[in-house]
Structure 1
Amino acid sequence: MRHTDPAPAHTGYRADDLVTAVAAAIRAPSMHNTQPWRFRLRDGGIDVLLDPQRGLTVADPTGWAARIACGAATFNARLALAVAGRPARVRLRPGPEPELAARMTPGPPRPATYVEQDLAAAIAHRHSNRQPFWPDPVPSPMRVRLLEAARAEGAWLDLLVGTTAFAGVAEIARSADRVLRRDPAYVAELMTWAHSDAARDGVPTPSGVAAIPGGPVPHRPYGEGPHGHDREPEPLLAVLGMGGDTAADQVAAGQALQHVLLAAHDVGLAASMISQPIEVPGAREQLRQAVGRRGVPQMVLRLGYGVRGRPTPRRDPAEFIDD
């Protein structure tokens, strides 16, 4: 009988691996750029945790947006570790601790793939573009790349085709935005995260735009930033969803969201997120019916071409690491 040596044990992550992961993870998007995550080394793995002190009590009472953000941060960390030759196995919501979103443990060492290298290179440059997009259509090969990115993380992505589909989802988004803006507490909370350029969290007010007059989709009113014209042509709208809506599904959706956003940046597309239809339960159900899915929508995306902006600021990576 032929005997084989057992597979070598993979040593746990070290402090420098944690720093590598965190530096990439914190470039993920989060609602109002609250940066609601923390990271720690534990039992040889890297834990990604929600930071309850940075939650949005009005806009995100269930923690959905924070879990989406932590999932996106997990995806960035995965890429950074893979490029460093320390790829991770990821378990979502691996224990009873309510703040624990994901745990990464070392997998077999291997070189990073070309796709991983390209996506990792996009991390530092990806940002939400809140300015009007140009009328140029998104070519079919790029659309396929976005669909594959979502599918790779167990999610689905519906790219809206046709005027009727676009108009229906756009109206759902505008209606949800109107509902949210009628709540003074919601607006007050939003404005607490409209910061100066010197701030290291929140959204710099020059990058915000009021709702574009006659625009097809709503924009957060972080400030009265300039925009190029009064009427935005119809951008490409996409709905990202999962089969379920558990806490683990939401973290997984965050990974899929970040994979799609990085893939979009890699092919030269601009993007922004429209979460209002997800924040209003009735609108979310309308959105699900509009796309004809049995699963649960987790985010609406606006995609196209536009003037490149700059990433929003981040706090120092050391501030996110627990002892």
Structure 2
Amino acid sequence: MTTSFPDPAAIVPLIEDAATAPSMHNAQPWRFLYRPATGLIELYGDPARAMPHADPDHRALHVGCAAALFNLRVSAASSGWGTDVRLLPDPDDPWLLAVASLRESGPGDSDLGTLHAAVRRRHSSRFPFTEENIPPALLDGMRAAALLEGCRLAVPDAWHTDTVLGLVHDSEHREEMDPSLVAETMAWTHAGTPDEQTRPDGIPVNAFGPKRSGRGGVVRDFGRSRRIPGRGWAAFEQNPHIVLLGTSGDKPDDWLRAGQALQRVLLQATADGLVTSMTSQPLEWPALRWTVRDPGSAMTHVQMVIRLGYGPQGPTTPRRPVAEVLDIR
């Protein structure tokens, strides 16, 4: 019996879902190629959207693309399709990050499909959260989500959290002293109102959130280096809830697993009523990154610091049209 694969029009919603994934500075550094005859969806990294100063080895680019890959898996499952994924299938083409083969849905795909409702609801929130504790059962669910993708999620204790907060602030000061990093960040942010935006990517001004009053926050301030009329101040939570997502290795395949685990954790958190944001500043400095991890943990390499809790949802951020990120052959 010959399998009939979806026609190109049916793939468009899957790619739209995939493209809602988070990426560094919302650069959306992915391209998809669909082959209707074989049901293959190829995922490519886009070097034109790389961050040569903040992400010279393309670690964050791989993580963002893999988050989009996980969204694709979820969207396919909700549409009745399973996906068999191969990471880095062509050693001669390092920008071909993964291939997803569509197949008839099986029993193992149902859990992915249940996350679909969270795909469009998940937005990074750079606003203050409450001090309310997160139930242990929800944290356990996120740990399990990371394990399903071959990664680990650690909940740091008070001293470790304070260490990470110090590293976040240290990295902020380092960035301020590096004109090339400041310029790179500003190139991916919008200074005007959403109505004045002209590009379908980057961080819009309404997603910056308020300026931080005091030292408690762990949110990246995309408006730190420019004056934005009308932007207010707010006190962020003094004891933020953070979790660390990590891997035992630190190669491109590890980054791709981490990106899928990241998105699975974010979608699980969203489904459980939590809001989230991510911080990568200390991970962008080799001298700081190794100190983010707990030396007593089996997690050798931290791939993302995730802030989570209860608070306002972040706004939607602009997305590139499907025509820019999807080719059909």
Using structure 2 for the length normalisation, give the TM-score: 0.89
The question of 1:49 aligning with 2:12 is answered: no
Counterpart in the other structure of 1:297:
302
Structure 2: stretches of 5+ with no match in the other structure? none
CA distance in 1, matches of 2:277, 2:33: 30
Deviation at 1:178, TM superposition (A): 1.9
- What CA distance in whole angstroms lies between the structure 2 residues aligned with 1:286 and 1:67? 22
Residues 48-71 of structure 1: CA distance to partner in whole angstroms, max 9, x if unpaired?
110111111211111111100110
Deviation at 1:21, TM superposition (A): 2.3
Q: Secondary structure at the match of 2:293?
A: helix
Give, in whole Å, the separation in 2 of the partners of 1:87 and 1:72: 17
2:263 to 249, 258, 266: 258
Runs of 5+ consecutive residues of structure 1 not aligned to the other structure: 1-7
Aligned pair partner of 2:141 in 136, 145, 149: 145
How many matched pairs?
315
C-alpha distance in 2 between matches for 1:220 and 1:287: 16
Matched, 1:312 2:317: yes
Amino acid corresponding to residue 153 of structure 1 in structure 2: E
Q: Is the 8 A contact 2:20 2:68 kept in 1?
A: yes
How do residues 91-106 of structure 1 correspond to structure 2 at under 5 angstroms? Answer: 91-96=86-91, 97-106=93-102
CA distance in 2, matches of 1:208, 1:28: 18
Alpha-carbon distance in structure 2 between the residues aligned to 1:232 and 1:215? 9
Shift of 1:114: 5.6
AA aligned to 1:150 is A
Structure 1 residue 175: Cα displacement: 1.5
Equivalent-residue separation in structure 2 for 1:160 and 1:217 (angstroms): 16
1:176-212 residue CA offsets vs partner (Å, 9 max, x unmatched): 2222221111011101111242342111112214651
Give the match's secondary structure for 1:212: strand
State the one-letter code of the partner of 1:205.
V
User: Residues 135 and 234 of structure 1 are in contact (CA less than 8 Å); yes or no, is this contact kept in structure 2?
Assistant: yes
| Range moving further from structure 2, 104-113 or 199-208 | 104-113
Deviations 1:66-117 (A, max 9, x none): 1001100000000111111111001111112111111000234347866433
Tell me what 1:184 maps to. Answer: 179
Flag the 1:130–1:231 CA change in 2: closer, same or farther, 3 A. Answer: closer
2:220 corresponds in structure 1 to 220
Distance 1:158 1:300 in 2: 10
CA distance in 1, matches of 2:324, 2:143: 35
Alignment counterpart, residue 166 of structure 1, candidates 158, 161, 165: 161
Q: Secondary structure at the match of 2:153?
A: strand
Q: CA deviation at 1:213?
A: 2.5
The aligned counterpart of 1:74 is 69
Q: Which residue of 2 aligns with 1:3?
A: none
Give the whole-Å Cα distance in 2 for the aligned partners of 1:211 and 1:218: 12
After TM superposition, the structure 1 stretch with the greater mean CA deviation from structure 2, 213-222 or 40-49, is 213-222
Give the alignment partner of residue 113 of structure 2, picking from 113, 117, 120.
Answer: 117
Are residue 249 (structure 1) and residue 254 (structure 2) matched?
A: yes
Amino acid at match of 1:50: G
Match of 2:285 in 1: 280
Quick check: 13-22 or 150-159, which moved more?
Answer: 13-22
Percent of residue pairs bearing the same amino acid type: 37
Partner of 2:85: 90
Who is 2:234 aligned against?
229
Q: State the one-letter code of the partner of 1:25.
A: A
Q: What SS does structure 1 have at the residue aligned with 2:327?
A: coil
Question: Which residue in the other structure is 1:5 paired with?
Answer: none
Match for 1:298: what amino acid?
Q
Q: State the shift of 1:294 in Å.
A: 4.6
The amino acid that maps onto 1:172 is: L
Query: RMSD of aligned C-alpha atoms?
Result: 2.1
8 Å CA contact retained: 2:212, 2:233: no
Q: Give the CA deviation at 1:9.
A: 5.9
Once residues 78 and 171 of structure 2 are traced to their aligned partners in structure 1, the CA distance between those partners, rounded to angstroms, is 40
SS of equivalent residue, structure 1 residue 244: coil
Q: Is the 8 A contact 2:115 2:271 kept in 1?
A: yes
Separation of aligned partners in 2, 1:41 and 1:114:
23
Which amino acid in 2 is paired with 1:192?
A
Give the TM-score of the pair, scaled to structure 1: 0.90
Is the CA contact (8 Å cut-off) linking 2:217 and 2:238 kept in structure 1? no
